[in-house]
A = this chain, B = another copy of it.
Amino acid sequence: MTEHTVKAFDEDITRLRGMIAEMGGLAEVSIQEAMEAISKDDQELARKVIKRDKKIDAIESDVDKLAVRIIALRAPMADDLREVIAAMKIAGMVERIGDYSKNIAKRVKKIEAGKRFAPLALLPAMGEIAAEMVHDVLTAHAARDPVLAREVIAADDKVDAFYNSIFRNVVTYMMENPATISSAAQILFVARNIERIGDHASNVAEMVHYAATGLYPPEEDEEQGEAGKA
């Protein structure tokens, strides 16, 4: 590339990374607010999270548009092309994280207010770990830090363990309180959504590692984790 093109490319990449940082920030807030809405039965906050998802989707499509324009105009090679492609994939994963938060928020109204019950207490700690994973993977992306990316991948095991214990707890609770089964089932889905957020944060971390090093991180036997899932 000419010096001019190089400079223009760097500016484009900086914009691309900025858009992903913004998307990620919104997704991070949505996880926290979705969990708060579930815990406090806060319908208003739930609506806010659902509304924010449209903004996240819009930024994703802006990322795609810009990435395609960069490729078309600058014809980047090797590492540069890899970074642009990674940006598109990361944007897609962050969009999915946003979707899961939206799905959690949509369940608030399905958990009968009369039944703000025990199993709810199990969720916030799990939600915090997932939100932290999303926060850290964004930091890793901004800092091109493959070590932090691998830490995020490792943290996913904690989320999976939480999920399994919540599943067992909720099922036991359902057996003892059949009248609350419909609401309890919603809690199972919320836990599953948080668990999926952890999976996607971990996928983003792999992509960050790949964009930074050109290599995918050594397999943290995710299969195992998954197989163990309730």
Residues on A close to B: CB < 8 A? 64, 68, 71-72, 75, 77-78, 81-82, 85, 88-89, 92, 103, 106, 110, 167, 171, 174-175, 178-179, 181-182, 185, 188-189, 192, 226-227, 229-230
By CB atoms of chain B within 10 A, which of A72, A78, A103, A188 has the most?
A: A72
For A181, give its contact among B181, B182, B189 (CB under 8 Å): B181
Closest Cβ of chain B to A178, distance in Å, is 5
Tell whether, in the assembled complex, residue A181 and residue B174 are in contact, meaning their CB atoms are under 8 Å apart: yes
Task: Collect the chain B residues with CB atoms within 8 Å of residue A227's CB.
Answer: 106
Complex CA distance for A75 and B192, rounded to whole angstroms = 42
Shortest CB distance A102–B (Å):
8
Determine how close the nearest CB of chain B comes to the CB of A192; give it in whole angstroms. 7
Of all chain B residues, the one with the shortest Cβ separation from A170 is B185
This protein's copies in its complex: 2
A192 and B185 alpha carbons, distance in the complex (Å): 12
Chain B contacts of A178 at CB under 8 A?
A: 174-175, 178
* Set B68, B106, B185, B192: member contacting A81, Cβ < 8 A: B68
Report the separation of the CA atoms of residues A45 and B88 in the bound assembly, to the nearest whole angstrom. Answer: 35
Measured between beta carbons, the chain B residues less than 8 angstroms from A167 are 185
**Which of chain B's residues have a CB closer than 8 A to the CB of A72?**
75, 77-78, 81
Q: Which one of B89, B171, B192 lies within 8 Å of A182 (CB-CB)?
A: B171
What distance in Å separates the Cβ of A104 from its nearest Cβ neighbour in chain B?
Answer: 12
Q: Report which of B75, B171, B230 forms a contact with A75, defined as CB distance below 8 A.
A: B75
Q: Are the C-beta atoms of A181 and B171 separated by less than 8 Å?
A: yes
Contacts of A171 in B (CB 8 A): 181-182, 185
